[in-house]
C-alpha cells in the first residue's frame, strides 16, 4: 500500500494525502476526515526511509570500525550511539575487518545512499580515498593528514612516553616494546613516544627488544614468549594496546613467570584483565567513550549545517591518563638492597 493507493481510493490528490499526514493546513476538514478514515481502514504506514530519501535526510549515522570484539571499538560505538540517540539519530554499525576493499564497498553502497554522515576508524592509508567521501565524516583514532576531514584522536606519543618513563624511574633500561602496525598515526606515534623517552634518558633502543606486528592478542602472546625465552630477556615489556597486553599476560602465565617479579609489564589501554589480574597491570587509560561522544557531536553538527568538507579541518586531541598499579618491579630498591649487603 502506497500513498498513491490511498489518494486513489480516497479520491484526492497525492499532495492532499501528504498534507494531511504531515499535519499541514490548507485541507478542508471534511476531506481531512475522509483521508484519515481511509488511512486507518487501509492500515497505511508511511515509508519513512522513502520520505527521508526524498528529503535527502535519513537521520541515520554510520559508525564504521574494523571489528567490535575489541573493547576500545565497543566503547567508541557506545559513546557515539548515546549522543546520536539523544539528538534524534539512529546508529548503523558496520565492520570492515580492517580491509580497504570492504570499506570502499560499504561507501559505494549503503554509506553513499542511506546515511547522513559517517564516523570512521579507517583502513585506507592514503588521503585520496577520504577526500573522495562526499558525506560528512569524522575520522576517529586513525587520522590521515590532508584527508579534508575532522578527526578525534588521543595523545599516543604522550601515553607511551609516560609508560616508558615510569619503567625507567623504576630502574628499567632493558625495555621491550610490542607494537601494532605502523601504517597509521597510532602505531607510529606510540613507537615515537617510547623512543623519545628512551632518548631523553640516554638509553639505547635495542632492535631485539622491538616487536612490531598487529593489534591482536596472538601478536602479544607470541612476541612475549620470544622475548622471555631469548638469551637476554628484557626486564620490562610495553604492550601498545589492550589485546597485545592480554596476550602478554597469558604468555607470562604459560611460562610460569610472575608479573611484577620476574617481568614487569605495562600496557596502552585499560581493560578488565589488566584491572583484575593479580598483580594488576599499570596502563595508560584513554577516554574511549569520550572519543565516541565527541565524534558524534561533531558529525551531527556537520550534518545539520550541511557541511561535508570543512574549510579548516580540525583534529581534536584528547589527553590520556597513567594508572599506576602493581605490575612494575622497582629495580632501584633491588640494587640498593644488593649494595648494602
pLDDT in tens, 42-64: 887 766 555 554 556 789 999 99
What residues does 91 pair with on adjacent strands? Answer: 61
Residue 259 gets which letter from DSSP? B
Task: List pLDDT tens digits, range 234-267.
Answer: 999 999 999 999 999 999 999 999 999 999 999 9
Q: What is the pLDDT of residue 112?
A: 85
| CATH 1.10.260.40 domain position(s) in the chain | 3-46
Q: Is the pTM of the predicted complex or chain greater than 0.85?
A: no
Q: What is the pLDDT of residue 201?
A: 97
Q: What is the pLDDT of residue 178?
A: 98
DSSP calls for 106-146: HIIIIIHHH-SEEEE-----SHHHHHH--S-EEEESS--TT
CATH number attached to the domain at 156-281+325-340: 3.40.50.2300
What residues does 95 pair with on adjacent strands? Answer: 65
In angstroms, rounded to a whole number, what is the distance separating the alpha carbons of residues 312 and 149? Answer: 9
Average pLDDT by stretches of 10, the chain with 341 residues: 83 86 78 86 69 66 92 94 94 94 92 92 93 94 93 98 98 97 94 98 97 95 98 97 96 97 97 93 96 97 84 92 97 64 49
Is domain 3-46 annotated with CATH 3.30.420.40?
Answer: no
Q: What is the pLDDT of residue 244?
A: 97
Q: What is the pLDDT of residue 325?
A: 97
Angle at 266 between CA 260 and CA 269, to 5 degrees: 140
Q: What is the pLDDT of residue 40?
A: 83
| CATH 3.40.50.2300 domain position(s) in the chain | 57-154+288-318, 156-281+325-340
Pick the CATH number of 57-154+288-318 from 3.90.209.20, 3.20.20.70, 3.40.50.2300, 1.25.40.420: 3.40.50.2300
Amino acid at each position: 500500500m502506497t500513498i498513491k493507493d490511498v489518494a486513489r481510493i480516497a479520491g484526492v490528490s497525492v499532495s492532499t494525502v501528504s498534507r494531511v499526514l504531515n499535519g499541514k493546513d490548507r485541507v478542508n476538514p471534511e476531506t481531512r476526515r475522509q483521508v484519515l478514515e481511509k488511512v486507518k481502514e487501509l492500515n497505511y504506514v508511511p515509508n519513512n526511509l522513502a520520505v527521508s530519501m526524498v528529503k535527502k535526510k535519513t537521520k541515520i549515522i554510520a559508525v564504521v570500525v574494523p571489528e567490535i570484539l575489541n573493547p576500545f571499538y565497543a566503547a567508541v560505538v557506545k559513546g557515539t550511539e548515546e549522543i546520536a540517540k539523544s539528538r534524534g539519530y539512529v546508529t548503523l554499525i558496520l565492520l570492515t575487518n580492517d580491509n580497504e576493499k570492504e570499506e570502499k564497498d560499504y561507501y559505494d553502497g549503503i554509506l553513499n545512499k542511506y546515511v547522513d554522515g559517517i564516523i570512521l576508524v579507517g583502513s585506507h592509508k592514503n588521503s585520496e580515498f577520504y577526500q573522495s567521501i562526499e558525506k560528512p565524516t569524522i575520522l576517529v583514532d586513525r587520522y590521515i593528514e590532508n584527508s579534508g576531514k575532522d578527526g578525534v584522536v588521543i595523545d599516543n606519543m604522550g601515553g607511551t612516553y609516560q609508560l616508558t618513563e615510569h619503567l625507567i624511574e623504576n630502574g628499567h633500561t632493558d625495555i621491550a616494546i610490542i607494537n601494532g602496525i605502523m601504517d597509521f598515526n597510532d602505531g607510529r606515534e606510540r613507537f615515537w613516544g617510547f623512543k623519545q623517552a628512551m632518548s631523553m634518558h640516554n638509553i639505547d633502543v635495542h632492535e631485539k627488544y622491538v616487536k612490531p606486528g598487529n593489534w591482536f592478542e596472538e601478536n602479544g602472546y607470541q612476541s612475549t614468549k620470544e622475548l622471555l625465552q631469548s638469551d637476554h630477556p628484557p626486564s620490562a615489556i610495553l604492550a601498545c594496546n589492550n589485546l597485545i597486553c592480554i596476550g602478554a599476560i597469558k604468555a607470562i602465565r604459560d611460562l610460569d613467570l610472575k608479573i611484577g617479579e620476574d617481568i614487569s609489564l605495562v600496557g596502552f589501554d585499560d581493560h578488565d584483565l589488566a584491572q583484575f589480574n593479580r598483580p594488576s597491570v599499570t596502563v595508560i587509560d584513554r577516554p574511549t567513550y569520550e572519543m565516541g561522544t565527541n565524534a558524534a557531536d561533531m558529525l551531527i553538527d556537520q550534518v545539520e549545517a550541511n557541511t561535508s568538507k570543512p574549510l579548516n579541518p580540525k583534529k581534536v586531541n584528547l589527553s590520556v591518563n597513567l594508572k599506576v598499579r602493581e605490575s612494575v618491579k622497582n629495580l632501584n630498591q633491588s640494587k640498593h638492597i644488593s649494595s648494602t649487603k
